[in-house]
Chain A
């Protein structure tokens, strides 16, 4: 800490880094600086060395303190001077937007005293509608990541922005013939305008947009089907029958919560009438995705077989017949009939991993069904000249780099060295470029390969803008001064263009000043900042004509499905394409399907496991020609036969202390030709094993069958997740409620409190709507300061998530269904945890909450033992203390941080309840002295607020008009383990499956 004192005493300006460097003589700090590109392996995996590195990281707090102390040039008013209307300690939310794959999602970011701590969705933004995905929730943690890039690097030597500017002046770009710019998909209008300017200034330059996980095939599909690139907008809320051709739109194929949000509108059942409007979902896919788990009917096919499936479906819809395997044929026949019956209420979607021709076929089917224009709409995705996109664009670029045609390469964000296909060999061709510049958030693999590495500011630190694919723009506002210095992409580009003022604020303001109407311009600007969208601006929809002949031609030219083991590459839930690999929250959030944390695995089907004698954790080698990858397998029920799936984003060398060397790098066997699916692989056992950490060991609701000495027992079904088909439910509305017999409670004890008076908090979770997306898990972690514990602790079952999602497989082992059930604290009225606590550290509030008094807890763990739901989490070690100090900045100041030896659990976000009550009291005082009655919706728990499916209802169950009270009145409402008479306040609404009677016999 002495470091900070030295620095603050010395008046340091923007150049503090250099002077800091000179002044710092402590060996730890020197070591830390030298470790700018830390090469040591994933210390986060190992408890002891994790502690060591985190101690080292504490040195970096020096810098954080400094930045906070450094005098802002323009934008941020220091807190030391009082401001009107500003109350220290009060949270303020600001609008901004996050961009992934060129899709913007509007966010509301809650800040405390200038620190962004919690990301929420912006209710006014069309892509968000108030929700945020798990990754978006976790993005705030990256702001404080101590491994972020802090220095301008020239090769391996430290440099400065001044030196970079000087060097840049020395580069003669001429007409830009040797200039290439490589960026991710761009959604920023300001950046687009700068790009136009740049391409005009350098008429021979080219721009390439590439991401390891992109929507390129979707764009190419529209090009094929309609002759023009289009953005496809699916309206799941209008669709009665949905077919997904390998599109995990509820999970990994979405970049915003909007798909889930809209889909759930047809899945939630708030009243009787809605029973008949529930949509039906068919999924055809290779790996078991979240969308597959939510499907009524799912067919396992290899990725390469899906085109044939789409062709057969098209044939059937056109009145043809289908032959082949009986199960597939029956599925196709029933599906075609159902789609046709739905007509324009049908919707066929194709996933980003499918070839353009499959997308085109989906468009064609939609066209025939009348869905185009009804459940699907289009906006133009036209791009400027000299812009190459996707894998092809990257291949061309690499060819040019290899051929010496590129003298200057500017990489704007991203990590192409890691995400590029293996055959491109991006790192080695990059070495051939005279001037390579990388602007990035982290000193990652690309930074190491570039001549110049420039630190990029996080999107929560900069001014910018972003528009959705439907053309709705949002201004990005900074929540904090760039913690580690750094510039935004637009600032760098403006600098390249030689702009006089390269400040992000000026660039964005100037751009939008030109767009906004002259009258009331300033008001419109302020309103845009306040609302998070610029009202009235959106792209016009187009109604393109389909080119059936081109599609037929493309189908004819399409290659046949390959042989051998097929490998599918999917973005990982935790790391996505590698951008969240160093994000502890994401790494520890269990994958919604596999429940795997801190790793990726080669997912294989149970049949393949049996055939090759493999179990979870056996290391296999996957090889095809010169491409070879070794990694552990995990048996995934529901995986297509002969196909394996590996998620991207792992096995990184320069992710940072959290993500280095975690998992395996699927990119090693990913090539430009086989970007999403690669066939012809052979799989062989190596004999080695790797320990995989999952948060759920037993995956079904059936007890295992146990036998010995002539006895056999177990194997019974536990109706934990209750579901029925709609027909069953209509016939017998009590079917869900009566799945378990609940005896009458006979007790000699009087009730603890009168639960009929005042606010009585309760929660209802609609299993029909919940997709299992796990956004709530991260939201809860961010809101309630639950620590990240690391792989070794997860292996010991010590993960701390207050809200977990249980996944159960139902049915046959090879091809089961999967169901997802969120489990927070049940806040039992007869709580088994309460009476066993010797020190009364957990007691019941008059409002029906099962409260935890952390200060009183001595840590006997009796409450956790006696909790039938096992939702109580014990701080076995001092998890918070092991974190780098700077991560204290991301913690919610309204929730106490728990030390070791303390039990914790879901509180129904009691801090939010109290805040609402305080507000109601304060405003009541202002009015007539009595607190205002809280209205339904005044309090939202963190999980409820972010839930993209609106599956969670929370409120006062004593208020008959509250949403939660209404939901709890439904016939399908049931309490988990209610037969134990614990009277859970959290209840579930059983799932109703809208099955096609032709495919599944109804009871």
Chain B
């Protein structure tokens, strides 16, 4: 990692990525101490939060058991709306994951140094979001054991047949499982130097053993670093196309069908932009919480948040553009079914979902043209939640409103969620947040070694006076 060479005169314009005058030792201490803290040393607010989220996980467990025991009928899915909250939630969670990969892979390749203090948690978030997402395709069949068995190309003797490789759902299986594998690998490889740091600092035998095992014999030698950086670069290279491909494949679930509102070529780029948009919003929500819960203001600075807001503004605008294009094409195509579907989205029985989506996704990010709002933590916290609500509605609008009124007016229907639908979705938030909280407490949630790389500027500050000037 090369250091950042900055003109001290420009520090006011382009402030250091780590603030509060933290030096190498401080960084290690600050971040490791979170994982090394005794139970009573971790702030009480953390344990309260964990208790809340883990009880929601129990709700999820109950909901899934209830579903498996009775069948999909406990949800509101019907004919014609065969997919509703299940696939909406799937696409929503998969989308959330995208920010993690984007931050860790693409921003890495583009040498965006500011990513260092957020990439670890963003990657973790990706993994947890994919876990939540994966639940839905599996459980929405009502008989997950069958789905798990038949959907993967496990050799079978009773039928001697392959999956149907023409089906986008099979592409999904491969896309999502590849994505999950690469994300876990990428995250873990990035963790190795930090795990070694924890191992070296560990006082208990157990900790030493566990971290020793996980750090794969890392000694920090130049050779290790050389291999590590090459490997990390390769994984980043592998992950980069995944950012584009996973959500493109997910969008094929819809794009390859014949249903008006689904059958459209705009979906891959539109879905990817939407995924990045929602993913950044989710990173934002989580980081603001962690920043507060674990006192990480020096590492996750306003600059980080502002940069992310800029991305939210860009992707939000792309998404808005896609919405307009969809409407234009529906009109321009002359296809009466397509035209009606879009009118129906905006002014039909689900108009409220459509306009929620428009407000949250297209209008709300436009506030970020203002620098003040872009840098206001309470505002961005609220807005990140608004964006995620909007993105959930986007998927609901695409899935449910397209299905509920398709070709034959005789088979039109309406979808209403049941309490099981709602509590299952809420339950996945419990799972997601619980996993994240556990991660934040037990693993270094900021990449220690990478953050040290961007500390280099400190060395160029020659006196206490100057430091004080910079950090006043």
Residues of A within 8 A of B (CB): 696-704, 706-709, 711, 713-714, 716, 718, 720, 793, 796-798, 804, 806-808, 821, 823, 832, 835-840, 856, 858-862, 864-866, 868-870, 872-878, 900-901, 976-977, 980, 982
Within 8 Å CB of B205, what residues of A? none
Q: Could you tell me if B161 and A840 are in contact, using CB atoms closer than 8 angstroms?
A: yes
Top 4 A-B pairs, shortest CB-CB distance: A713-B343, A876-B73, A877-B73, A861-B82
Q: Could you tell me if B78 and A796 are in contact, using CB atoms closer than 8 angstroms?
A: yes
**Chain A residue, CB-CB nearest to B413:** A797
Within 8 Å CB of B348, what residues of A? 704, 706
Residue of B80, B141, B258 near A982 (CB, 8 A) is B258
Q: Could you tell me if A874 and B159 are in contact, using CB atoms closer than 8 angstroms?
A: no
Chain B: minimal CB distance from A327 (Å): 29
Report how far A833 CA is from B261 CA in the complex, Å: 17
Q: Could you tell me if B169 and A697 are in contact, using CB atoms closer than 8 angstroms?
A: no
Interface residues of B in 111-158 (CB under 8 A from A): 137, 140-143, 146-147, 150-151
Task: Flag whether B70 is at the interface (Cβ < 8 A).
Answer: yes
Chain A: minimal CB distance from B464 (Å): 62
Q: Could you tell me if A977 and B72 are in contact, using CB atoms closer than 8 angstroms?
A: no
A-B contact count (CB 8 A): 192
Task: Flag whether B42 is at the interface (Cβ < 8 A).
Answer: no
Residue of A714, A718, A874, A980 near B258 (CB, 8 A) is A980
Q: Could you tell me if B79 and A859 are in contact, using CB atoms closer than 8 angstroms?
A: no
Task: Flag whether B403 is at the interface (Cβ < 8 A).
Answer: yes
Q: Could you tell me if A901 and B141 are in contact, using CB atoms closer than 8 angstroms?
A: yes
Q: Could you tell me if A836 and B79 are in contact, using CB atoms closer than 8 angstroms?
A: no
Task: Flag whether B356 is at the interface (Cβ < 8 A).
Answer: no
Within 8 Å CB of A700, what residues of B? 409
Residue of A713, A797, A900, A977 near B79 (CB, 8 A) is A797
Q: Could you tell me if B82 and A874 are in contact, using CB atoms closer than 8 angstroms?
A: yes
**Chain B residue, CB-CB nearest to A716:** B336
Within 8 Å CB of B151, what residues of A? 838-839, 858
Chain B: minimal CB distance from A984 (Å): 12
Q: Could you tell me if B409 and A900 are in contact, using CB atoms closer than 8 angstroms?
A: no
Within 8 Å CB of B407, what residues of A? 718, 868-869, 977, 980
**Chain A residue, CB-CB nearest to B406:** A868
A697-B413, A720-B408, A806-B410 given; A874·B72 CB < 8 A? yes
Q: List 11 additional contacts besides A713-B340, A796-B78, A861-B82; criterion CB under 8 Å.
A: A698-B412, A718-B336, A806-B411, A836-B257, A838-B172, A839-B151, A840-B167, A859-B142, A860-B147, A860-B169, A862-B167
Report how far A17 CA is from B70 CA in the complex, Å: 36
Task: Flag whether B71 is at the interface (Cβ < 8 A).
Answer: yes
Interface mask (B73-115 → A, CB under 8 Å = 1, otherwise 0) = 1101111111100000000000000000000000000000000
Q: Could you tell me if A866 and B143 are in contact, using CB atoms closer than 8 angstroms?
A: no
**Chain A residue, CB-CB nearest to B409:** A698
Chain B: minimal CB distance from A47 (Å): 8
Q: Could you tell me if B164 and A838 are in contact, using CB atoms closer than 8 angstroms?
A: yes
Report how far A858 CA is from B343 CA in the complex, Å: 34
**Chain B residue, CB-CB nearest to A868:** B407
Chain B: minimal CB distance from A937 (Å): 31
Chain B: minimal CB distance from A800 (Å): 9
User: How many residues of B are in contact with the other chain, CB < 8 A?
Assistant: 60
Chain A: minimal CB distance from B457 (Å): 52
Task: Flag whether B166 is at the interface (Cβ < 8 A).
Answer: yes
21 chain-A/chain-B pairs, Cβ below 8 angstroms: A697-B412, A698-B410, A706-B343, A706-B346, A711-B347, A720-B410, A797-B79, A798-B73, A836-B168, A838-B150, A839-B163, A839-B164, A840-B163, A858-B150, A859-B141, A859-B143, A862-B167, A865-B80, A869-B407, A870-B408, A877-B74
The A interface is mostly helix, strand or loop, or mixed, namely loop
Chain A: minimal CB distance from B183 (Å): 23
Residue of B78, B141, B172, B410 near A798 (CB, 8 A) is B78
Task: Flag whether B395 is at the interface (Cβ < 8 A).
Answer: no
Q: Could you tell me if B409 and A793 are in contact, using CB atoms closer than 8 angstroms?
A: no
Q: Could you tell me if A861 and B258 are in contact, using CB atoms closer than 8 angstroms?
A: no
Task: Flag whether B294 is at the interface (Cβ < 8 A).
Answer: no
A839-B163, A901-B146 given; A798·B169 CB < 8 A? no
**Chain B residue, CB-CB nearest to A861:** B82
Q: Could you tell me if B336 and A798 are in contact, using CB atoms closer than 8 angstroms?
A: no
**Chain A residue, CB-CB nearest to B348:** A706
Q: Could you tell me if B70 and A877 are in contact, using CB atoms closer than 8 angstroms?
A: yes
Q: Which of B71, B253, B342 has the most CB of A within 10 A?
A: B71
Q: Could you tell me if A823 and B410 are in contact, using CB atoms closer than 8 angstroms?
A: yes
Report how far A698 CA is from B406 CA in the complex, Å: 12
Q: Could you tell me if A837 and B164 are in contact, using CB atoms closer than 8 angstroms?
A: yes
A708-B346, A877-B70, A878-B71 given; A858·B82 CB < 8 A? no
Within 8 Å CB of A835, what residues of B? 164, 166-167, 256
Q: Which of B140, B170, B351, B408 has the most CB of A within 10 A?
A: B408
Report how far A341 CA is from B408 CA in the complex, Å: 41
Within 8 Å CB of B339, what residues of A? 713
Report how far A456 CA is from B357 CA in the complex, Å: 63
Report how far A702 CA is from B151 CA in the complex, Å: 41
Task: Flag whether B344 is at the interface (Cβ < 8 A).
Answer: yes
Task: Flag whether B24 is at the interface (Cβ < 8 A).
Answer: no
Task: Flag whether B296 is at the interface (Cβ < 8 A).
Answer: no
Q: Could you tell me if A839 and B150 are in contact, using CB atoms closer than 8 angstroms?
A: yes
Report how far A765 CA is from B343 CA in the complex, Å: 33
Task: Flag whether B414 is at the interface (Cβ < 8 A).
Answer: yes
Interface mask (B329-366 → A, CB under 8 Å = 1, otherwise 0) = 00000001001101110111001000000000000000
Within 8 Å CB of A714, what residues of B? 340, 343-344
Q: Could you tell me if B409 and A718 are in contact, using CB atoms closer than 8 angstroms?
A: yes
Q: Could you tell me if B411 and A840 are in contact, using CB atoms closer than 8 angstroms?
A: no
Report how far A230 CA is from B273 CA in the complex, Å: 79
Within 8 Å CB of B142, what residues of A? 859, 876, 900-901
Q: Could you tell me if B73 and A793 are in contact, using CB atoms closer than 8 angstroms?
A: yes
Task: Flag whether B173 is at the interface (Cβ < 8 A).
Answer: yes
Within 8 Å CB of B168, what residues of A? 836
Q: Which of B166, B168, B257, B410 has the most CB of A within 10 A?
A: B410
Q: Could you tell me if B347 and A713 are in contact, using CB atoms closer than 8 angstroms?
A: yes
Residue of A708, A901, A982 near B351 (CB, 8 A) is A708
Task: Flag whether B50 is at the interface (Cβ < 8 A).
Answer: no
Task: Flag whether B259 is at the interface (Cβ < 8 A).
Answer: yes
Report how far A840 CA is from B162 CA in the complex, Å: 8
Within 8 Å CB of B167, what residues of A? 835-838, 840, 862
Q: Which of A806, A835, A901 has the most CB of B within 10 A?
A: A901
Interface residues of B in 198-214 (CB under 8 A from A): none
**Chain A residue, CB-CB nearest to B351:** A708
Q: Could you tell me if B143 and A858 are in contact, using CB atoms closer than 8 angstroms?
A: yes
Residue of A706, A793, A856, A976 near B150 (CB, 8 A) is A856
Q: Could you tell me if B71 and A808 are in contact, using CB atoms closer than 8 angstroms?
A: no
Within 8 Å CB of A807, what residues of B? 410
Within 8 Å CB of B70, what residues of A? 877-878, 900
